[in-house]
């Protein structure tokens, strides 16, 4: 029976052509529901995001929540969506969000469905603010335009972690037959169970982030000009409102990119992590309007890239680690200057993921607060932050190198809106001291020690090759022996979070949780270098992250950079062996 004429027509066409290969691709295997929820292309069949797979996923999620919360029908869930849409299959984030809402409402569960597009962080914010059981955000963040996703938050306001993904996955398998009125999303419009949190959250969120505003008078007076781009996503309106909440003049918006457009026409990839290519139009506008700083959000506004015009006239795009260093320094400094209680420093925490720079560790050691590292991904930082907050600790800041920042305890996930306006206040403050962001970054490194990082990846479409590559590292000099050196660099420590081995622990067991389903090995080198190799959960990539941490006082940056470059070259040559393994390099 055809409920969606567009996906029905696609499948009918393939059947008529007898195209078994394509049909196998569409129906061979169901999308996997993981801790990041779903992420796949929109289109027909159970391997894609479409009306049917959204209904099935939500039915499973609904049953799983009923099992976990006796008060689900009292508290309810929140659902948000971005501006993605796919003409040929009729799928769109808004349509998927309405179908999900319909599924919950049909079971008597109250739904707080945003009436318009929102940034992803508004969903975890609403879960916490209204004490709901769960949240769903329909977005594929910065993925290519044909993709969509379904991201899930638990009652603690953080993304789900295991075993919830397995439980939900199983419940989806058990609830595949669409319930009687599953397709009829018009039913929700007249339901008393449907609520729209849009106006409330637009008021309360901007009130809450003002707790991170410390220099209102400087903000009012500053001559510093900012350019903002939302890269055809949802961010424009909300960053404008955030600037207003901080009494900053509104940033200049890149006109070609400020309105949502699911085709992302001006960029090859809508991902500000890709650096200068995504920022071409921003540079042009900044030159025209005399702005020194560019703030760029990804399409669902949960990440932030920052660029600054240097004395030389060149633009510097800060890496995620560099901006993490600046924001960590700034947020701690603001806390210190505004904290009434000096002894409270023992209850202050900052977090970052294990593949991010350890600069926060260096700041924490010198200043006397706590630093913890977590596994990769904000789901771990959000959940750990909530645990610490429940114990009465203050979690001031968390970040990951993939330009994700949590600057405000009201959102237990990365938030590119609050990060953008806090960066603007920091820049305005520094300008009154005649300092640029780049100069302040150097000052942070001078005080706490230089932390130089370098990360990249290889593309590999063959899971067998990836498995062999990591097996080789675990049996490098004979069975069950890891490498003792990498070229001229001596290995001093190994942590393998796939197997749970850690050479630095007395019992050789890793402290962080291990996962057999993904590959991740961290090598520590005698020269103070650290390198992690890991597989990506969402892409066919083997990524690496490397860092050289120098103690304060070692200021020969060029020498440190050279040393790190040589370490990375050795890592690629000896551990990745790209020629032998036919790996494809990241192309700039």
Active site residues: 141
Residue 149 to residue 136: CA distance in whole angstroms: 10
Q: What angle do CA 547, 548, 554 make, to 5 degrees?
A: 150
Q: What is the DSSP string of 163-191?
A: THHHHHHHHHHH--SPPTTTT-GGGGGG-
| CB-CB neighbours of 532 under 10 Å | 21
Residue 475 to residue 473: CA distance in whole angstroms: 5
| Token output for 406 | 């949590």
**Nearest-CA neighbor of 405 among 333, 330, 316, 338?**
330
Whether residue 237 contacts residue 206, with contact meaning beta carbons closer than 8 Å, is answered with: no
Q: What is the DSSP letter of 49?
A: B
Residue 210 to residue 242: CA distance in whole angstroms: 9
**Nearest-CA neighbor of 569 among 529, 520, 535?**
529
Residue 185 to residue 101: CA distance in whole angstroms: 8
Compute the Cα dihedral for 46, 48, 50, 56 and give only its sign: positive
* C-alpha separations of 531 from 96, 488, 514, 534 in Å: 40, 15, 18, 10
| Token output for 192 | 């008393």
SS3 400: strand
Whether residue 393 contacts residue 347, with contact meaning beta carbons closer than 8 Å, is answered with: yes
Residue 556 to residue 550: CA distance in whole angstroms: 10
Residue 421 to residue 400: CA distance in whole angstroms: 18
**Nearest-CA neighbor of 559 among 447, 441, 452?**
452
């Amino acid at each position: 029976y055809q409920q969606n004429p567009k996906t029905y027509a696609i499948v009918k066409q393939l059947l008529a052509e007898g195209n078994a290969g394509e049909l196998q691709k569409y129906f061979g295997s169901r999308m996997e529901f993981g801790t990041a929820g779903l992420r796949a292309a929109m289109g027909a069949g159970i391997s894609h995001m479409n009306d049917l797979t959204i209904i099935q996923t939500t039915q499973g999620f609904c049953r799983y929540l009923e099992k976990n919360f006796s008060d689900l029908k009292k508290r309810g869930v929140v659902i948000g969506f971005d501006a993605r849409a796919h003409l040929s299959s009729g799928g769109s984030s808004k349509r998927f969000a309405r179908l999900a809402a319909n599924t919950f409402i049909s079971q008597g569960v109250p739904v707080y469905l945003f009436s318009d597009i929102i940034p992803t962080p508004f969903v975890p914010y609403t879960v916490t603010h209204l004490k709901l059981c769960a949240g769903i955000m329909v977005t594929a963040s910065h993925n290519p335009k044909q993709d969509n996703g379904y991201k899930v938050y638990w009652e603690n306001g953080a993304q789900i972690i295991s075993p919830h993904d397995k439980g939900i996955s199983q419940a989806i398998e058990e609830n595949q037959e669409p319930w009687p009125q599953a397709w009829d999303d018009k039913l929700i419009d007249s339901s008393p169970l449907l609520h729209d949190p849009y106006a409330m959250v637009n008021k309360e969120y901007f009130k809450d982030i003002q707790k991170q505003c410390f220099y209102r008078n400087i903000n009012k007076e500053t001559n510093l000009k900012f350019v903002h781009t939302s890269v055809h996503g949802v961010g424009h309106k909300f960053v404008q409102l955030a600037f207003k909440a901080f009494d900053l003049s509104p940033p200049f918006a890149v006109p070609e990119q400020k309105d949502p457009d699911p085709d992302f026409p001006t960029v090859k990839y809508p991902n500000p992590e890709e650096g200068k290519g995504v920022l071409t139009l921003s540079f042009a506008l900044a030159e025209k309007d005399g702005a020194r700083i560019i703030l760029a959000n990804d399409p669902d506004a949960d990440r932030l890239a920052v660029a600054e015009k240097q004395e030389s006239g060149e633009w510097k795009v800060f890496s995620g680690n560099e901006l993490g260093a600046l924001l960590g320094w700034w947020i701690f400094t603001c806390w210190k200057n505004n904290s009434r209680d000096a002894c409270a420093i023992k209850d202050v925490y900052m977090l970052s993921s294990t593949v991010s720079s350890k600069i926060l560790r260096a700041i924490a050691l010198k200043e006397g607060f706590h630093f913890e590292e977590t596994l990769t991904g904000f789901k771990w930082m959000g959940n750990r932050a909530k645990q610490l907050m429940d114990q009465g600790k203050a979690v001031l800041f968390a970040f990951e190198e993939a330009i994700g920042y949590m600057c405000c305890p009201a959102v237990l996930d990365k938030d590119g809106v609050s990060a953008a306006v806090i960066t603007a206040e920091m820049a305005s403050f520094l300008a009154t001291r005649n300092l640029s962001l780049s100069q302040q970054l150097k000052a942070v490194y001078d005080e706490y020690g230089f932390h130089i990082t370098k990360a990249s990846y290889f593309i590999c479409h063959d899971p067998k090759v990836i498995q062999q590559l990591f097996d080789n590292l675990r049996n490098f000099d004979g069975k069950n022996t890891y490498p003792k050196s990498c070229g001229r660099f001596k290995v001093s420590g190994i942590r393998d979070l796939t197997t749970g081995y850690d050479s630095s622990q007395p019992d050789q067991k890793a402290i962080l949780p291990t996962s057999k389903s993904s590959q991740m090995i961290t090598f520590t080198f005698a020269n103070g270098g650290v390198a992690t190799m890991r597989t990506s959960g969402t892409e066919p990539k083997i990524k690496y992250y490397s860092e050289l941490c120098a103690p304060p006082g070692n200021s020969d940056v060029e020498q440190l950079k050279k040393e790190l470059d040589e370490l990375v070259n050795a890592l690629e040559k000896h551990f990745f062996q790209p020629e032998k393994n036919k790996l494809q390099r990241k192309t700039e």
